[in-house]
Amino acid sequence: GIIGGGGTREEASRAGSIAACVGEGFQILDDVQNLTTGNPGKKRGDDIVEGKKSLPVLLHIAENPGDKAVIAEYFRKASKEGIESPAVEECIALLNSRGSIKKAAERGKACITENAEKLASVFGNSGAEKSAVLIKKLFADMIPQ
């Protein structure tokens, strides 16, 4: 799109790298949603059943290494028993108890916001540049509150 719009390969490459970081932020928020309200078409906590080591889980283990075996057991039980396993909600409660889900959400939002600013700068971030303003607004509107 950038090259088609008259941009350079360098601008396209820079924008692509920044956009990948924005995507990482949205993936973090998707993982958070899985542990809070649930994702559309999926049940809350199915990432636990599938054994996904999402950022909320990794943050929790990094800050509470003694819980690693407990979380591994929740994952094992949830995998064996399915989405209705009490281990799913027990694991979510543990992650919530230390603020790991909230911290991951904050990190995801910050990643999106910071990189939207960087992406806008590719197109002139004077505040008057229409494209820069639109890029920042687009991503701000997409971040769940």
User: How does pLDDT run across 19-52, given as a tens digit for each residue?
Assistant: 899 999 999 999 999 999 988 888 899 999 999 9
Nearest Cα to 95, choosing from 135, 36, 14?
36
User: How does pLDDT run across 99-117, given as a tens digit for each residue?
Assistant: 999 999 999 999 999 988 8
Domain contains 5: no
Domain span at residue 102?
10-142
Q: Report whether 116 contacts 139 (CB < 8 A).
A: yes
Residue type, 60: H
CATH of the domain at 35: 1.10.600.10
The number of folded domains in the chain is 1
Cut 0.75: pTM above it: yes
Domain contains 108: yes
pLDDT tier at 77, thresholds 50, 70, 90: very high
User: pLDDT value at position 79?
Assistant: 97
3-state secondary structure of 101: helix
Domain contains 126: yes
Q: Report whether 60 contacts 126 (CB < 8 A).
A: no
Burial (CB < 10 A; 0-12, 13-18, 19+), residue 34, is buried
Domain contains 138: yes
Domain contains 78: yes
